[in-house]
């Protein structure tokens, strides 16, 4: 299996939806644009949001096992994916790419 690099490339926020639908919360997402995590196959990287991991982990697992070419040529690099977390108020888009490093 190969390691997969996860880079937070964009974080959006929708204050109008938050005001209309979300109960106020003290602690939201800690991930910032530019944050990088390395995944060892099925293992969630330390400090990575559990909810975001649930959204991207099937793609990470597939990439780590040599799969790719999602949706028949969707990505320029077939061994990558652009996946967003499932937070509808402040979604984060992650670029996933296979590294040429085996999992130890």
pLDDT tens track, the chain, 104 positions? 999 999 999 999 999 999 999 998 888 888 999 999 999 988 899 999 999 999 999 999 999 999 999 999 999 999 999 999 999 999 999 999 999 878 87
Tokens 């959006």 correspond to: 12
How much is the pTM? 0.91
Find the domain containing 88 and state its range.
2-102
How far, in Å, are 10, 24, 49, 61, 84 from residue 27 at the CA level? Answer: 19, 9, 12, 28, 19
How far, in Å, are 5, 31, 35, 45 from residue 98 at the CA level? Answer: 6, 21, 16, 15
| Number of structural domains the chain divides into | 1
Whether 45 and 37 have beta carbons less than 8 Å apart is answered as yes
């Amino acid at each position: 299996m190969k390691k997969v690099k996860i880079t937070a490339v964009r974080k959006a926020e929708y204050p109008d939806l938050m005001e209309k639908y979300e109960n106020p919360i003290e602690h939201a997402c800690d991930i910032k644009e530019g944050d990088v995590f390395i995944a060892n196959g099925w293992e969630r990287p330390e400090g990575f949001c559990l909810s975001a991991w649930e959204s991207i982990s099937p793609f990470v697992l597939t990439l780590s096992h040599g799969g790719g070419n999602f949706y028949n040529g969707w990505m320029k690099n077939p061994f990558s994916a652009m996946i967003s977390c499932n937070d509808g108020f402040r979604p984060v888009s992650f670029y996933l790419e296979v590294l040429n490093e085996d999992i130890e």
